[in-house]
Each structure stands twice: as structure tokens, then as C-alpha cells.
Structure 1
Amino acid sequence: MFNHPAFSLEQDENRTIVGIVESIIYANDAISILKLSLGDESIKAVITRLITPDLPRLGEIWELFGADEVHPKYGDQFVAQECFRQHPVGKLIVNYIHYHTPGIGVFKARQLWTKFGQNLYWLLDKGDIDPLTDKKLGKIPTDIAYLLIDKWHKNKVETEVVRFFQKNGLTTSLAIFALQFFGVTTIEKIIDNPYRLLAFTNFPLVDKQAITFFGVALHDPRRMSAAVSAAIYKAYDAGNTAILKKDLIQSIRSLTQFSKQDAQLVIEQALLDRTIVISDEFTYQGFGHALMERFIAQKIANLLSHVITGELTGTIYKFKPELLAQFEQMNNITLTNQQKQAVETAITHRFSIIDGGKGVGKTTCLSVLHYLLSNTASVFQVALSRDAVKRISMATHKEASSISSFLFRISEERLPAHSKLVVYDAHTIDLPTMIRLMRAIPDSGSIVLLGDSRQLPPIGPGLIFHALCMSPIIPTITLTQLHCFDASSSIPIVADSIRLERIPCVSDFDKTCPEDKQVGLCHISIPSEDIAKITVSFRHFILKWGDIQIIAPTVSLCDDINIRIHDSYRKDNVGNVKALVKCTKSIGLDDVIVCKDNLDYKGLSSGSLGKVIQVFDSPIAQSLPSGEIELCYALAEFDGHIVKLSAADFKKIKLGYCIPCNSAQGSEFDRVIIAMPASTILDNSWVYTAITCAKIQAFIIGDIKVFYENCTTPPKAFKRCIGFSQTLRETFNG
């Protein structure tokens, strides 16, 4: 008997029932109370997570074993002791068809059952569309009949896989991931090697089930190979593309409980199997990771094997100083020698880098580059964040794209020959993304990377831009001369000091100072426990000073601040409670939101900030490019772009009043509030990146000592273990 208020002490004899989930009366992380349709009747069923890793969802068929009871408070209910997902049987097919096939209502589903009876199962299994569409029999439109058969077959396979996973102690969500990858061979693949599930979950979970349910021995070759892969990918998930030998041994021992000697034998076998390769004397790489870095290094070597020296012939360009002078005269500016050298390098080399901090004129170099190549080459410019895209587009008066939308577009239409690709904020690009960008460049093309090697590294694995900047092989120009600032305490000056690991000029915040005099870097001393509360209050105080964004080091602090601000906006000016989005009760009307991941088909990328401008009373249907229908729950505005958002979209969206630094990276705001408690996440690059997000003023909320310490602490990014530097040397020396 379960110890929960939903259960009584009086139960009848056990029985088995099969029904479709009509509605979910109540659900939390531990229990689900359902309305289950058995065909001719409906009952209330109680299921706990103690008997299934995944609770039932609306429209699914479930087989329950348990007993009926009469609860003194909740009345008649069925308490399940065991449960399994099922494929429809008997008259349950009526409700199943209604739930899973748009265009077929309950009445039409009943007509099909009346007309065909049990033969309806045979027709769907066979995929026989003729009787279903016959005007005297099924009377279903052809497109809906095909949809019904497709849904039926997918559900049948999915149900078999889910039941197999449940019986082997694995979750439904894991079954769905595996099914999407392995298809109809999922069960066969997992029986052959349960460790194939490492593509979707962690080693301890798979290892436990492999030993318990699949009889895998401790020294089974499959287990040993999986342990090496798990160790490599654990390092990869932490941003590393390589791993030190001592760390690999320790990781394998931690996962398997092997001795040091056994772990070394496992590594030797992995080398023979090419699961891993030697990067250098003390470092290993996953075979796939080594191939990725080698591809980039070889592509760069191929590009640099042809130095551009003459007039335009194929991919050959000539730097023309007279055009440069013409640009200066037209725009009434004087370029620094560094900028001129950067532009010349970008034009005369098929691969080059322009590195530099805030205010050194990287965007100006980009404008000059466009001007000098305007009549000779197709130039495509991309950036990771939408804010950076907008900024470079306005500066150059040329079209720019987010990297995600650019890659999506060229997947259908390749770049023209001789194109030059310019990647802005290239320090944010991880290894997989760099692979895709390098593949996009035609053999006759060229690429320029502009970035800041002192900013936060990519969220994903690798350190490509940073490693390239430190390589003497690569044509790199580092801009150091500041040329756009208004006062000695301006943000570029402050950022430059931090970039050099020096303590910048900081003043205490003076609330009596007028808004037009509020510039540079200010500090508000606050105990760590009060940072969230004071940050919210301070945001309200300066809200009318322009575009304000809060940045914090941890997700938990971001969530705390976001919830506080959301709660403070729950009522409008006349006291009415604002509507919440029905598919997510944490976001409502007028809330600021941020994308946690790319929403390519909506034109949104990770870090895109927007605002909910309308909440629908009931969902509104919208057609997707794929032809599928989605239900949308709200309208949001992202930088002037109006987007309808579905429940699937909201899974990738959260409140955006306060965001992590890597989400703000590449964006600029008038003023930035930096909530800064002591945290292991902080270092020089974190502080520097946060400061560079401000155009006018930045505020440090917290202990000034924490700020000072991290200004002078070398970036942790430089400690990432990568194989790219070694691969680059070997490629060019070879």
C-alpha cells in the first residue's frame, strides 16, 4: 500500500484494465491521477512514479494491474500496482483515432468501428487505404486516411519499444530518443549493445541497467569501450576536445571501479580500436574529435596555400590603398595603422583573423572591407547573436545573418564561387559550428574571423578562435588602439584595463547624479544574501534610463531575480492580474523572455531577447513550413519581429530579465547591472565579457573585493584541454 493521501486502506481484489488517458486530473513529480476510458466506461486511476519511470500522457493507451477502492474523500478509484503502455485493443481504437488523428472526431471514429469492427485493426496494420477512403465504407478524405495509417504504424512501433524499455528499467523519454535514432531496429540494437544508449544519457544509468537486465559482465569489451567513450564525452561536454592521460585513467576508474592497471589496459584496447587517438605524449582525443579539428586545420592550410597577390582572377584580390584613402575621405575618419594592416591582411589572404577588444574599431574594419570588395567579391557576414547581426548590418549598410539562419539557408543553396565569409564575434564559435562554417566555404572562397580572444569561450566544446590567435602560422592582426570613448571612465577604457588583467577605475554609485552624467563603471556594495533583492529594486530605480539588462553568473541567481521581477509585474496599472501563458505558468503578459536554444524556423537564435505582447485565451493553430499544425499560446516581439509561440517553443524559452553572461555575449545594452556574488564561475573573461555588454554604464552589485579579484584572475578558458594547437602545427609542418 502506498503511503499517500490519495490512497485508502480498503481495496478490492486485483484486476487488469486497459484504457486510454482521456484527461489528467492531477499530476506532480510523484503521482498522476487520470481519467481513463475503458471503452464503454471511464474510471479514475492513480499511478505513482514508484511503479513507472514515466507517468502517462494524454491520449496514450495503458494497461494497469491493481485494485479498485473507495476512498473516504476522493471516492471510487483504481490504484495501479503495475503499469505498461499498450497499443489499442477492442473499442479503445475509437478514442485512440479521435485523439491522434486531426480531422477525425469521435462520431467519425465510432462510424469506422461500426463499419469495420475488429477488421479496422487489420486494415490499419496492412495500410490498406482503399476501404478507408471508399465513399460507401470509410468515407475518409485521402490525406487524413494516410495520416491515420502513418500515426497507427508509428504508435505501434513506439509502443513496442517503450514496453521493452520499461521492462528493462529504462524511461519512456529514453525510448523515444533511441527510436528517433535507430528506428524500427531499436530493440535489436539495444539488445546487441545496451551502451549504445550513451548517446542519450549518462554512463552510470546505462551501466546499471546493462548489468542488471542485460547480463553484461564487468570486463565485457562493450562495457570497457563504453567507459572510454563516456570519459571522452564527459570531457567534451566540459568544453575540452582532448583529455590528459592521467585524467582519462581517473575518469575510467571512477566510472567502472577498475584498478589503475585495468584502466590502462582499457585505454590500450581503445587505441587499437581507434576509439581514441594520441594527440601528444600526455594527451588523448576521441577519434571523432580529432577528425573534426584536423578537418579545420587542413581547410585553413588549403586556403593559405594560395596567397592573394594580383588582380581578381578566380579568388585573387589586390589591396588598393587609393580606395582606402577614398573611404577615409568619404566618411571623414582616419584609420589607425593597425586597422589598415588588418584590412589589407583580410583582403590579401584567404584566411585571416582580426582580434581586439571593445572600442578598437573591428566594426570599422568590416565596413572598409565591404567598401574595398564591393565590386569584386560576394561578401557574406554572420554573427552568433541577433544583436551583433543588427549592429554589423547597420554599420556596414549590408545584409547580415545569424549563424544559425545562415547555415540553415546554405543547406539548401550553396555559396557562390569566390565568396568571402566574414564571421563576427568569432570567439563565440564552438568546434561543431566552425566545422559547418568551414564546409560552407567554396574551394575558391575565403574567410575572415573577427573576435575578441579575451572574452568568454564558446558555450560548446573547443577553443578554435583563441588557439588560432596564439598561432604564429595564422595571419592575425591584433587591434589595441582605442578610438571610440567619451571620458576617462568610459566602458572601452574600463574594458581594456580588465582585458589586460588590471583593476579599472570604479566609482561608488551616486543616485543624486543626473542621468546624462551617469557613465562608466559604478559599484553598489551589498552583502551576498541581499544581491537578488537589491538588484531588482535597483533595476526599477534606473528603468527609465534606457535599455537595461541584468547579468548574473549562476542559473539559480538568474532564476531568483527573474521570478522576483515577474512577480512584481503580475498586475497592470489599474490592479488587474495579467494573463499567464497557458502552456507555461511561469511566463505572462509583458514579461521579458530569452531563447535558451535556437528556434531556426521562427528566425530566433540562442540568446534572443523578446517580450510577450499578447496571451491567447485559447490556443491558435498555425501551419509550419513542414506542413504540420502547431498550437500557439502567445505573441512575442523580438527586435521588431512578431512571432507566435507554441508549447514546444516555450520549452526553449525562459524569463529574460536576468540572463547568464554567455547568453548576453555579443549583445549590447545602454546599461548593464552585474549581480556578482562570489562564484567559481567568475574569472577575468567573465567580468570582461559582462562589462563589454554595456554601451554607457555598468553597475557592479556585490562585494567590490570579488570584482577586483576576478579582474586580475587569468581566464579559465585557457585551461581547456584541446588538440587543435598541436593539430595545426602538424598540418602545416607536414
Structure 2
Amino acid sequence: MALPLVTRGQAIIRHLATDKRFPGIGWATANRLWTAFGETIYDRIRDRELKPLADVVGAKRAVAIVDGFGMLCDEVEIFRWLDRYGVARRVTGAAARAWGIGAIDRIKADPYAMTLLEPWQDVDSRALRLGVVLEDPRRLAAGVEQALAIKFRSGHMASPTPMVKQLVRRLLSSITGDPSRPIDVALANGRVVSPAADVLQACRFMEDEVARLISDGSVASCHRSDGKLILDAIAKVEQGIGYLLTDAQREAVFMATFCGVCVISGGAGTGKTIVVWVILAALERCVTTFRSPTRRDRAVAGGLAGRAVRRISEATGRPASTLSRLVHDIEDAGRRVRAGTVRTSMLDTPSIYRVLVQLPAEVNLIFIGDPGQLPPIGPGLPFHMMVKAGSIPSVTLDIVHRQDDATGIPAVASAVRLGKSVALRRFDLDVALAWRLSLPSVEGGCRGKDHRSFPRHVWPCSWQR
């Protein structure tokens, strides 16, 4: 049995007190208006009755309230209805902004639409209080969606069906036995899909859109490049670092300067940052040579976190940006980005989706990362899927430059990455002590033979020589 709806004014009070469209209106003023007019406040604002409002809060504030709503008179009706429906005042404004006047019809058709904005417990208890029956198909499908949403927030784009059933049983406490019917209902109305056997997913739109954007970029016309300019850029960088690039590194540079979308992968110490340096130098030469005088094309490097950005900037000598800052610069300053390298091994699917939908379509993207790193904190493994995708041009860097082969570190690291057991020599304390005592002493004493007292050049790692 449905309970009567009672308007308490909490939504309109909070909206008037907190929205920047109503300068000079605080909590005290908003509460005074509700006390004076009650539910008729909605009609006063909708009909632009300035005099009654001015009698309570003054002419200036009355004009601010009416002008704040402006031509969106229907917005007042949304607040009236949502407040009467019992929607939490903190999300009423969000519902009005998201759905507009359609918010009323949307919630009437499916009260569980509010799970996008409110906790499940609040939405479910309110829907049941207003007359939704326990076995209502809308409730059953919403329970399955909520279970998948919980798994999504835990980092899973899709989840095994048995695990989803456990969550559904907990959310829909009225369901007894095997909760297969809610899943069947959700599958039947398209709210949930099954991408594989015994796997459920709430929505594939984000993944499908990322795949489409990458596919469109990979077949898009690439910027013009010249082999000689690329070779000149490689030679200049090699001269600066003092050694030659490997064949795989050279291949990665040529691929990145000719392809609209490509992937460069490699473990720690395989020279990914050096490749970024050469790619940026080559792209700058190509862009400078072939651009028109009126265009402001540029090549940029981006990373997920500030630490990665600082590392790229220090190694290449060129400015780099976090992905959010890069997109912000494009939108606000109108800068034209011609190509960009993106460190993406720890980028989750929602993050890469936001980047792809906001960057200009003509931007050539080079995704660089290490699939052997820890997975993203958020849901999805987009970079790992790019590495495996045969449709995206890809180069793998597999030679470790950071340590000598004689140290055994590259071999051990490779075995660990491949999931193979590692045959390590048994530790011998006598051998370790004899080797340590054989190290040259440091002028001024060795401070108890602390290894930090010894010169760095005595340690057998190539990056320290």
C-alpha cells in the first residue's frame, strides 16, 4: 500500500541556499521563504510574482530568485515533484540538471532510475513505501544492475554470474532460493548483457566506444612524415645519449610517426622513455616541415600521474602534461595537438574513454606502457587489450638496458613476467661477506661498511656506471 506524499520543501530550500544562480540567498533566507509560502513557493517562482517574494526577502533578492530560474520555469515543477516524491535534497539538483523536465516522467516510469544518484537502500525503501511490489520486474532488474555496479566500483567491467547472484540475493532480501529470475528479467529487457558464458555486464557502451574511437583513429589519415627527417632525429638523440637504438626501438619510432594509433609495450628498463624522446623529436621535425603557416600543430607527451609526467619531461627535455591538464588546455586555449604519446599501462577504461572522446579526432596517439605492471585501480584493462589486439600496430621492446645480463636481473625479471619458476643460487653468507669486504674503502672511512658509503661505480649495474 502506497503512503501519501508530503512536500517538506527541503529540495527547494537547499537549491536556493547553495546554487550560485541565487546571490545573496542563504539558508536563513531560503527557510524564511518556505515558512512564508509553503508549497505555494513553487507557483510564486514559476509565475514570477516578485511582490510577494519581495515582501519577505526584499526586492533585490526576489529579482535574484526569479532571474536565477530564468526561462527554466519547468525546473520549479521538477523541484516540487522531486521533493514531494522524497528524493534526498542533495541530489534533487543533480536529477534536475541530468534529466530536465523529463526527470518526473523518468522516475514515475521507473523509481529505481534514482540509483544513479542515491544509495540503493534509500531508493529501494522509498519505492516499496510508495507501492512497488517485491516482485516488480523493475525492482528485480535494478537489483541486478546494482550488483554489477558494486563490482564495477571494485574494478570489474564484468563479473561471473554466481558472484552476481550472491549480491542480488543480498540486495533483494525478499528473493528466496536461486536468484535466477532477476537475472533473466534483466537480460530480457536489455538492462544487462552476457558477453560470455556465465558472465554478466551492465553496459558495454564504454568499451564499445573506446574500441570504435581507437579503430577510427587507426585507419584515419596520418600526418605526413619523411624517412630522412626521422633518421636525422634518431641520429641526434643517439649522439646525445651516447649509444645506438636497438632495431625494435627504431621500428617503434617509425611506426609512431606514420600510424594514427599504435602501441609500444615493454618492461622496466627496455628504453620506453628514450623512444618517447626520439618520437617527439621526429614528430616535431615532421610537423615543422609539413604544417601550413596558419596552424599551430604540436606534439605532446602525457601521463596519468604527475610523477610519470616529470619523468618524461626530465628525460626528453620537453614539456609534458597530465592527461586532464592536456584536455583542459585544448578546450580552454584552443591549442591544436597534432600527435601525442600517452603512458597508459595503468589507465582504466573510464579514464581512457574520457581522454578519447575529448581529444580532437585528428590527433595521432601512441599508447606506451608495460602490461606487466600492476593493473589499473579502476575497472578495465584497456592497454592490455590493445597489446593483444592484432588490428592495432604494435612494437614490443624486449631488451633490458637498465642492468647488465651478467647480473642475472634481466633473466629473473623476464621469468617472473612470464610466470615461470626462477632457479636462483642458494644464498651463501660467507661468499657475500667476502665480496663485500673486497670492495674498495672510501676516503674518510666506510662508516661501518654501510653500502651507501661506497662509490656508486663499484656496483655492477649499467645505469650506475
- Shared fold (TM-score, shorter chain, > 0.5): yes
Query: Which residue of structure 2 lines up, in the alignment, with residue 663 of structure 1?
Result: none
Pair 369,209 (structure 1): closer, same or farther in 2 beyond 3 Å:
same
Pair 376,231 (structure 1): closer, same or farther in 2 beyond 3 Å:
same
Query: Which residue of structure 2 lines up, in the alignment, with residue 290 of structure 1?
Result: 204
1:299 to 191, 202, 213: 213
Pair 475,188 (structure 1): closer, same or farther in 2 beyond 3 Å:
closer
Q: Aligned partners of 2:402 and 2:167: how far apart in 1?
A: 49
Q: CA deviation at 1:193?
A: 2.6
Q: Does 1:224 align with 2:140?
A: yes
Q: CA deviation at 1:367?
A: 0.7
Q: CA deviation at 1:127?
A: 3.9
Q: Aligned partners of 2:326 and 2:201: how far apart in 1?
A: 30
Q: Structure 1 counterpart of 2:315, which letter?
A: A
Q: Aligned partners of 1:511 and 1:469: how far apart in 2?
A: 49
Q: Aligned partners of 1:327 and 1:353: how far apart in 2?
A: 21
Percent identity reads: 25
Q: CA deviation at 1:493?
A: 9.5
Pair 160,265 (structure 1): closer, same or farther in 2 beyond 3 Å:
same
Alignment of 1:506-517 (within 5 A): 513=450, 515=452, 517=454
Pair 347,151 (structure 1): closer, same or farther in 2 beyond 3 Å:
closer
Any gaps of 5 or more consecutive residues in structure 1? 1-62, 64-82, 309-313, 520-694, 697-734
Query: Which residue of structure 2 lines up, in the alignment, with residue 706 of structure 1?
Result: none
SS of match in other structure, 1:408: helix
Pair 138,382 (structure 1): closer, same or farther in 2 beyond 3 Å:
same
Structure with the largest fraction of helix: 2
Give the number of equivalent residue pairs: 400
Q: Does 1:475 align with 2:384?
A: no
1:208 to 116, 120, 125: 125
Q: Is the 8 A contact 1:224 1:266 kept in 2?
A: yes
Pair 249,148 (structure 1): closer, same or farther in 2 beyond 3 Å:
closer
Q: Aligned partners of 1:264 and 1:495: how far apart in 2?
A: 45
Q: Aligned partners of 2:300 and 2:158: how far apart in 1?
A: 32
Q: CA deviation at 1:372?
A: 1.2
Q: CA deviation at 1:277?
A: 2.8
Q: Aligned partners of 2:354 and 2:11: how far apart in 1?
A: 42
Q: Aligned partners of 1:131 and 1:172: how far apart in 2?
A: 25
Q: Structure 1 counterpart of 2:318, which letter?
A: K
Pair 210,516 (structure 1): closer, same or farther in 2 beyond 3 Å:
farther
Q: CA deviation at 1:357?
A: 2.6
Q: Does 1:428 align with 2:350?
A: no
SS of match in other structure, 2:193: strand
- 1:427-474 deviations in Å (ceiling 9; x for gaps): 222212222322345444421101111222222211100122233443
Q: CA deviation at 1:365?
A: 0.4
Q: Does 1:347 align with 2:257?
A: yes
Structure with the largest fraction of strand: 1
- 1:118-175 deviations in Å (ceiling 9; x for gaps): 9xx8986754669999xxx9674xxx6654546799998798578546xx5x654455
Alignment of 1:316-355 (within 5 A): 316-320=224-228, 322-323=231-232, 324-355=234-265
SS of match in other structure, 2:147: helix
Q: Structure 2 counterpart of 1:301, which letter?
A: S
Alignment of 1:704-719 (within 5 A): none
Q: Is the 8 A contact 2:264 2:367 kept in 1?
A: yes
Pair 413,260 (structure 1): closer, same or farther in 2 beyond 3 Å:
farther
- Normalising by structure 1, we get a TM-score of 0.46
Q: CA deviation at 1:364?
A: 0.7
Q: Aligned partners of 1:270 and 1:295: how far apart in 2?
A: 22
Q: CA deviation at 1:399?
A: 2.7
Q: Structure 2 counterpart of 1:241, which letter?
A: M
Pair 473,183 (structure 1): closer, same or farther in 2 beyond 3 Å:
closer
Q: CA deviation at 1:181?
A: 3.7
Q: CA deviation at 1:326?
A: 3.6
Q: Aligned partners of 1:387 and 1:491: how far apart in 2?
A: 25
**Which structure is richer in relative contact order (CA contacts within 8 A, separation 6 or more)?**
2
1:252 to 128, 152, 168: 168
Q: Does 1:457 align with 2:375?
A: yes
- Normalising by structure 2, we get a TM-score of 0.68
Any gaps of 5 or more consecutive residues in structure 2? 1-6, 288-297, 434-446, 457-462
Q: CA deviation at 1:250?
A: 4.0
Q: Aligned partners of 2:154 and 2:455: how far apart in 1?
A: 39
Q: CA deviation at 1:192?
A: 4.1
- 1:334-359 deviations in Å (ceiling 9; x for gaps): 22223222222222322211112332
Q: Aligned partners of 2:405 and 2:198: how far apart in 1?
A: 49
Pair 365,130 (structure 1): closer, same or farther in 2 beyond 3 Å:
farther
Q: Aligned partners of 1:215 and 1:131: how far apart in 2?
A: 38
- 1:178-206 deviations in Å (ceiling 9; x for gaps): 45544566566545432112112443443
Q: Aligned partners of 2:103 and 2:242: how far apart in 1?
A: 66
